[in-house]
Each structure stands twice: as structure tokens, then as C-alpha cells.
Structure 1
Amino acid sequence: MDLRIRAMTPDDCEAVAAVRIDGWRWAYAGLMPRAYLDALSVEADAARRRGRLADGDGTVVNVVAERDGAVVGWACFGPCRDEDAPPGAEELYALYVRPDNVSTGVGRALMDTWLERATAGGRSPLLLWVLEENDRARRFYEKAGFTPDGAREPFEAGGVDVPEVRYARTLTRAG
């Protein structure tokens, strides 16, 4: 059951979309309306992923976690999109793990990959957004050295406000 982290390819788009949608439905159950989560489409998400990979300029990095030939996790990161971010800031746009692989080290391996690449590239601070009420994800990010930085923004899902909070971590050359 070796875990391998590798660059995402266009052939992974369907599997990554399934990881993301299943991850949303599992992690956000009770935080977002069930109808909103049920309406998410793997096919539409996979098409968006293919388009983003094809149109990408290399600044956004997509990696997958693969176990026994199956994609079990995905992370995406790149330049921070926040207007108030300092130069050199990088953002984790997404990190999802198949629900049956939560707490097996997949998320940690994806996080470690991001931290290693950001450290090697001299990127800092690292920022990410998480649903304010997503306690499990917040604990995960806090264990990885991230702390809330006070920024908060609205996010609307199916007519319900589910605010996000920003987490930050400063890296040194040693990580």
C-alpha cells in the first residue's frame, strides 16, 4: 500500500473530480445544504480540470496521491490570489482526500509536498482558506503549523452563508 505523490495529468481529471466531489460531500455534510452538495457533478468538474490544465502557464501546481494505482488525494497550489498578500505568498487552493483514505497519511503527504516545494522555491508566507465551521480541516491545518490570521470572507453555497477563514504559515529556508 505504498503512497506515491506525482504531478497530475489530464488522464487524472476524472479521478481528481471524484476525489474533490466525494470530499466535499463528506467534509461539508451539515455545513452546506445537502441539495447543493448532491448537485455537484463529477463530469462538469472533470471538464473544468481538463481546461485549467490545458490553459495553465505552469504557475499552478496540481499533484495527486496515488495508492495501488488509484488516485486517493489531490492538492493544488500556486501564487496567492488575495490582494492583501505580500510578494512571494503562495496559496493552497485545494487539498482533498477520498473519504475512505482520511487519517491514513494521504493528506499529510500532500501537505508535505506543498511545504517542501514552497520551501525550496523560497515562497512565504503560505496561505489557505477553510470553512469557518470545518473543525476537522482546521485541526489538520493547525497540526501543520498554520494559524488563523484574522481574515474572513463570505462563501455562499445553495443560498446559505458558509464563511471562510484564512490561515497562514511563514516558512524559513529550513521549513
Structure 2
Amino acid sequence: MPHAPVIRAPEPREAEVLARLHVETWRETYAGQLPDEYFGERMLEHRRTMWTRLVADRRDDLRLAVAEADGCLVGFACSGRPQDPEHPPRLRQLYMVYVSRTHHGTGAGQALLDAVLGDEPAYLWVAKENPRAQAFYARNGFAFDGAEHPDERVESFIEARMVR
């Protein structure tokens, strides 16, 4: 079993590694739910741009954390102000928690969630076809509130909102 990872803030020089890890964890999580091109070069470039911006952003409301094990990044999490344009159910949104499959069960996901949310009230969007993530969030006090929407690029990919 892999060692428990160290949780820390990401460094700007890690944007490329985070972009690649992001695409890889999506492939592990959503293969069969999203088209193969979703995990290709175009998405990698989009994630490079996103992570370069995120690791350089010093907004007070943005919280980023990475999980590092044996000198390699194996997970990441991010939360911040609500992205929903109207009537967000909470003042903080969990944007993402992803951990490489090889580090599932090591406590990395829990440590990342704790680092970017603690026990604060928050909400998130989770894929309806992701029971592992749904169970994780439920263990952390989140419950579905009935709101759902399709992904803007893949309408068959439905996300449901969970709130605590």
C-alpha cells in the first residue's frame, strides 16, 4: 500500500504536472462516460492554462492543496467562492478533489477535502454516475438537494449538486 501523502500548497512550477494529473485522474474516473477526446491534447492544454492561472492566483477566497507521495503529486483539491450565477446554496463551493487511483484508500482524498474546506458549509457538483465520489461526500456530510444539470460540452454527462 502506498504511503500516506503529504498535503501542501502547490507551487507555480507544478502547473504542468497538475495539468497532466488532472487529465489522468479524469480518464481514470470518467472513462466510458466522456468521449475519448475529452482526455486528449486539447483538454491537456486547457488544464495547463487553468493550473498556471490557479497556482499563480493569490485571491484570499481560493484554497488549493496538493497531495504528494514519494516525491510525486498524486492528488489535488480546490475550493472558492460560488461559481453558480444565481442563488448559490452556500458561500463556498468545492470545485474539485481528485486522487490518482493508485492512491485511493490512503486518506489522500479526505486530507485534501479537509485542507480546502474543513467542516465549513459548502456545496459541490458531482457526476451522477460516480458512486464512489458520492459516497465520499455523503460521509463528509453532503446530501443531494435535487439540483442537476448536464455538462455544457457533453449533455449526457449529468451532474448533481450536494450541499452541507
Which TM-score band applies after superposition, normalised by the shorter structure? Answer: 0.7 to 0.9
The one of 125, 130, 135 equivalent to 2:126 is: 130
**Secondary structure of the structure 1 residue equivalent to 2:148:** strand
The one of 28, 31, 41 equivalent to 2:33 is: 31
Could you give the per-residue CA deviations for residues 44-97 of structure 1, whole angstroms, max 9, x where no partner exists?
4223211233354232111101112211110010112222125x6211101111
Q: Residues 44, 141 of structure 1: CA spacing in aligned structure 2 closer, same or farther, 3 A cutoff?
A: same
- The question of 1:163 aligning with 2:158 is answered yes
The aligned amino acid for 2:151 is: F
| Deviation at residue 114 of structure 1 after TM alignment | 2.7
- In 1, the alpha carbon distance for the partners of 2:10 and 2:60 equals 12
The one of 33, 47, 50 equivalent to 1:48 is: 50
Q: Is the 8 A contact 1:16 1:71 kept in 2?
A: yes
The answer for the alignment partner of 1:65 in structure 2 is 67
Structure 2 unaligned spans of 5+: none
- In 2, the alpha carbon distance for the partners of 1:110 and 1:52 equals 16
Q: Which stretch of the first structure deviates more once superposed, 52-61 or 104-113?
A: 52-61
| Deviation at residue 19 of structure 1 after TM alignment | 1.8
Q: Is the 8 A contact 1:22 1:99 kept in 2?
A: no
Q: Is the 8 A contact 2:7 2:111 kept in 1?
A: yes
CA RMSD of aligned residues (A): 2.0
The aligned amino acid for 2:148 is: R
Q: Residues 2, 130 of structure 1: CA spacing in aligned structure 2 closer, same or farther, 3 A cutoff?
A: closer
**Percent of aligned positions that are identical:** 37
Aligned residues: 161
Q: Residues 113, 51 of structure 1: CA spacing in aligned structure 2 closer, same or farther, 3 A cutoff?
A: closer
**Secondary structure of the structure 2 residue equivalent to 1:161:** coil
| Deviation at residue 160 of structure 1 after TM alignment | 4.4
| Deviation at residue 151 of structure 1 after TM alignment | 0.9
The aligned amino acid for 2:124 is: L
- In 2, the alpha carbon distance for the partners of 1:17 and 1:69 equals 17
The aligned amino acid for 1:163 is: I
TM-score (norm 2): 0.86
| Deviation at residue 43 of structure 1 after TM alignment | 4.5
- In 2, the alpha carbon distance for the partners of 1:41 and 1:33 equals 12
Runs of 4 or more consecutive aligned structure 1 residues displaced over 6 Å after TM superposition: none
Map 1:91-110 → 2, pairs under 5 A: 91-110=93-112
- In 2, the alpha carbon distance for the partners of 1:9 and 1:144 equals 28
Structure 1 unaligned spans of 5+: 170-175
The aligned amino acid for 1:14 is: E
